[in-house]
Amino acid sequence: MGRKVDKKTVAETISELSKNLIDKNNGILLGQCLTAVGWVQNTIPKQTKGIMELPMTDTAGAGIAVGCALAGSRPVLVIRYQSFLWLNSSPIVMHAAKAKEIFGYDCPLMIRAIASESELGQGPLHANAYHSIFAHMPGLNVCSPMTPMEYKKVWNYYIKSKKPIFVSEHRSSYKSSYEYKDEINKSADVTIFGVSSGRINAIKAHNELKNQKIKSSFSNILWVKPLKISKKAIDSLKKSKFGIVIDPSYEFCGVSQSISYELTKLTGKPVYAMGLRERSPGVAKRFENGTPSKNQIIKFVKEKLNL
């Protein structure tokens, strides 16, 4: 499912980058219970310097982070579960995202929003990815790094750009040190694009399709907005019969549908969206609503290819 190039995991990389931001780039980490047990899945450096424990006040907390940015700091707002974004969103989209466009000044803010899979009883609150709603708003760049190298690229971009950036993280990536790469088959029948944790299942499906002698290509999407897709992947789609976009957020009006539409406009090929079904996930296994699985993707591909 990839290649191991760095012994550091994603969590260790985030922690190390955070420490550098605090020590060398006037950074500050803000969030609730950051220094509590687990240090947010070991993504927070184990120190008190540069770490601001916010009170349990989500909306005001995000506003405080915006204030830190306007005062010249480089804040990183950590949202432990993406469901909490519903409370945190207004200062992010109303001030940070609009600041440059409306006021003409920078509001450099990184939002580390942590998504989680609908499994192991995570239930309706803790198992969600909501990056689609943030991609909807002008002024916010949205990405979903899943590897240490991708995280470093995102972090460097944040340091240099001064733009607010929404980083949709996924818990399933934290213990991994693998680097995913595009796997392009010049005569693919299907090109599969993966976003966030959708990449894990997408590449599993791609490998299984290969085993079954079905020609497919796989492409990683790191940057959702602005959307960045490799030229080789676009060329692959142009030669394919169709494409699919796999994403762990809700399908309707979501990132998977939007990217599919963009790819269809670009290539003229039908591109299908596979995201979450329209229902809240539940605690019991029968109520799970996870990222489209390897088997679901394979089934869909075979149906479209009449196999």
Partner 1 sequence: MSKNFRSPNYNLIKNIEKKVDKNTILRIFSKMSRIRYFEKKIKETQISNPKKVMALLYLSLGQESVSASVSEVFKNSYVLAQHRGHGPYLSFGGDPIKLIDELLGLKTGCCGGKGGSPMIHDFKKKIIGHAGLIGDHVPVATGMSFIKKKEYFVCFFGDGAAEEDYVLAALGYAATHKLKILFICDDNNLSVLTPIKDRRNWEITDVAKSFGISSVDISDDPWNIYHWSKKLKQKLPALINIRTCRDTWHVGTGTDGKPEWNRFEITKKKLKKIFSEKKIDQIENKEKLWAEKLIKKRLQKL
Q: Which residues bind partner 1 (CB under 8 A)?
A: 28, 52, 55, 57, 59-73, 90-91, 94-95, 98-99, 101-105
Coil, helix or strand at residue 17: helix
Angle at 141 between CA 17 and CA 256, to 5 degrees: 110
Determine contact, residues 251/129, Cβ cutoff 8 Å.
Answer: no
Return the number of the residue (63 or 281) whose C-beta is nearest partner 1.
Answer: 63
CB 127 within 8 A of CB 117: yes
HEC-encoded secondary structure of 75-136: EEEEECCHHHHHHHHHHHHHHHCCHHHHHCCCCCCEEEEEECCCCCCCHHHHCCCCHHHHHC
Q: How far is the CB of 98 from partner 1 (least distance, A)?
A: 7
Least CB distance to partner 1 at residue 156 (A) = 23
The Cβ of residue 243 has, within 10 Å, a number of other Cβ atoms equal to 28
Which CB sits closer to partner 1, 101 or 303? 101
Please report how close the Cβ of residue 68 comes to partner 1 at its closest, in angstroms: 5
- Taking the complex as a whole, the smallest distance from the CB of residue 62 to partner 1 amounts, in Å, to 8
Minimum CB separation from partner 1 for residue 108, in Å?
A: 13
Please identify, using beta-carbon distances, which residue of 57 and 156 lies nearer to partner 1.
57
